[in-house]
Amino acid sequence: MTGFTHFDDKGAAHMVDVGDKDITERKATATATVRMLPETFALVRGGKAKKGDVLSVARLAGIMAAKKTPDLIPLCHPLALTNVTVEFTLLEEKSEIEIHASCKLKGRTGVEMEALTAATVSALTVYDMCKAVDRGMEITGARLLEKSGGKSGTYKAS
């Protein structure tokens, strides 16, 4: 199992010991996109969805999800996040909502999973709040955009 940090030399899953790692500032940004019908997009943009302000609720859901990542993803360390942001870009010509979630902390392990969790839970919340009018929405493009800090340095998606 060379290269995978969450397996020991016998192939058993385990939590990585980060106790000897240096404390550094670590940041990560992830994205996800929700594609919907133009009519649904207009409801979200205009704040007229039946369940309320979709983007405000999705932002809160993403922030809460980032803080709950170790409860959702096995072997993730509980982290003392210092900042979580969730931002939306409304792409009217495509009827898409692009979500960018960023997480930051000073610690011994990265925040990539927290950023990915925030972005995808925000997308799921958009879906949940709009599914009564558009069950065909698609959630796509969930991925890490960038991360910095720690021994592995900086990563930027191409």
The answer for residues whose C-beta is within 8 angstroms of residue 12's C-beta and 6 or more apart is: none
Q: Strand ranges (DSSP E) for 2-137?
A: 24-35, 83-91, 96-107
E strand or H helix at 141: strand 138-148
Q: Which of 125, 29, 146, 32 is nearest to 84 (CA)?
A: 29
How far, rounded to the nearest angstrom, does the alpha carbon of residue 96 sit from its chain's CA centroid?
17
134 is catalytic: no
The side-by-side arrangement of strands in the sheet containing 155-156 is 83-91, 96-107, 24-35, 138-148, 155-156
Do 21 and 108 form a contact (C-beta atoms < 8 A)? yes
E strand or H helix at 45: helix 38-45
Q: Which of 22, 53, 128, 134 is catalytic?
A: 128
Q: Which residues participate in catalysis according to the annotation? A: 128
